[in-house]
Amino acid sequence: MQGVLAPVLTPFDSQLNPDEGRFVSFCRKLLDDGCNGLVPFGTTGEANSLSVEERERLLDALLEGGVPAEKLIPGTGCAALPDTVRLSKKAARAGCAGVLVLPPFYYKNPSEEGLYRSFAQAIDKTGEGRLRVYLYHIPQVSQVGISLRLIERLLKAYPGVVTGIKDSSLELEHTRALLRAFPGFEVFVGTEKFLLATLREGGAGCITATANVNAPAISRAFRERSEERQREIDVVREAFEKLPLIAALKEAIARRSGDARWRAVRPPLVELSPDERATLKEM
**Is 106 among the catalytic positions?**
yes
Distance CA 259, CA 253 (A): 8
158 is catalytic: no
Burial of residue 186 (CB within 10 Å: 0-12, 13-18, 19+) is middle
On whether the CB atoms of residues 192 and 235 are closer than 8 A, the answer is: no
**Around Cβ 27, how many Cβ atoms within 10 Å?**
24
Residue of 136, 163, 193, 198 marked catalytic? 136
Do 100 and 134 contact (CB within 8 A), yes or no?
yes
Catalytic residue from among 89, 90, 166, 250: 166
**Spatial separation of the C-alpha atoms in residues 275 and 104, rounded to whole Å:** 36
Instruction: Please indicate whether residue 134 is annotated as part of the active site.
Output: no
Cβ-count burial 74-100 (b if 16+ within 10 Å, e if not)? bbbbbeeeebbbbbbbbbbebebbbbb
With b meaning 16 or more CB within 10 Å and e meaning fewer, what string describes 190-206? bbbbbbbebbebebbbb
CA separation for the pair 283, 278 (Å, rounded): 9
Q: Is 90 considered catalytic here?
A: no
Question: Nearest 5°: CA angle at 62, between 59 and 68?
Answer: 110
The catalytic residues are 43, 106, 136, 166
